[in-house]
Amino acid sequence: MKKVLQLCVLVAFVLISIHATCGPKKPLIKDPVQVVKFRDEVYFHNMSIAFDGDYYYTINGGNDAYCMINQYDMDGELIDEYDVELDGRAIFFNPADEEFYIKIYGGDLYKVDLNVETTELVHEGIFKDDQSSPGMTPDGKYLYEYYEDRIRVLDFKTGKKVKGYKFEPGFNESGYYASLACSDYYLFAWGATDEIVVYDLDGNYITEIDLPRDGYGFSLSYCNGLLWIARDADGSTEGDTGYWYGYRL
C-alpha cells in the first residue's frame, strides 16, 4: 500500500510539473504591440531575423556575393557583422544544438559557424520553392514551407518531409506568398502587406491581425516571443538602411 501511495504521489508531481512547464495556450492580441525597432543597414534586402537568447541576428538577400549576417544587442545596437556569401531567405537559431542555419535562394539548408565565418551544406534540395522563407518551430524540431497551395512539414534534423496539408496562404506576390513564421502554437502567413493571417500548426484558421504598417514580404519572422517584419532597405551593392519591427502578440 505504501508503494502504491508513493507511486501516486510521483505521478501527480510529474503531471503538475508538466502543466507548470507547458502552461495553457496564450490567446493572441488582435492589436499587436510594437516593442522593438532598430535600423538594419544591408546590401539589397532585409530578409529574416533570429535570436540566440542574447542577441538578434539578421540576414540580407538578393545576391550571394553581398550576403551578411548582422548581430545586434537587445537595444538594437550593432555588435558585429559576418560575411557568409549565401543568398539568404531565412535565418534560424536552433536551440537543440545552438547553431545557426540559413535557407538560401534555392532548395538547400546551410549551417553557419560565425566564429570563423564558414558555412556547411546540411540538407541539399529539401525545399521545393527557391524563394520560400520557411518558418521553424521554436524548439528547432520542424520547418514549415509553403509550396503550391500546400504546407510541407520537414523534420529539421533529417530534412525529410513528415507531413503535408492543403493551405490557403496570403496573396500571391513576391515574398508574401512564400513566407511563413512559427511560434509554439501558431503559424503566421501574410494576408496583405499590413495583415497577418494566423493558423494553428495543422493549418486550421484562427484569426487575422492588422499591423500598423506595411512589411516586406520575405521578412516575416518569429523569434524571442515576437512577430517580426521589416521595412525593406531595397538597396544595392552600395547598401542601404531598412528597419526591423518586433510585435508582441
pTM confidence score: 0.89
| pLDDT means over runs of 10, the chain (249 residues) | 40 37 60 95 97 98 93 97 96 98 98 96 98 98 96 98 91 91 97 96 95 97 98 94 97
Identify any residues that bridge with 92 across adjacent strands, giving them in sequence order.
Answer: 101
pLDDT number for residue 141: 98
pLDDT number for residue 171: 83
The CA distance from 103 to 133, in Å, is 7
- Fold designation for 32-248: Neuraminidase (2.120.10)
Assess contact for 174 and 133: CB atoms under 8 A.
Answer: no
Q: In degrees to the nearest 10, what's the CA dihedral of 178, 157, 183, 180? A: 0
Nearest to 153 by CA among 128, 124, 119: 128
Alpha helices in the chain (DSSP H): 2-22
pLDDT number for residue 26: 66
pLDDT number for residue 24: 52
pLDDT number for residue 4: 40
Beta strands 68-72 and 56-61: pairing type? antiparallel
Chain centroid to CA 72: how far? Answer: 17
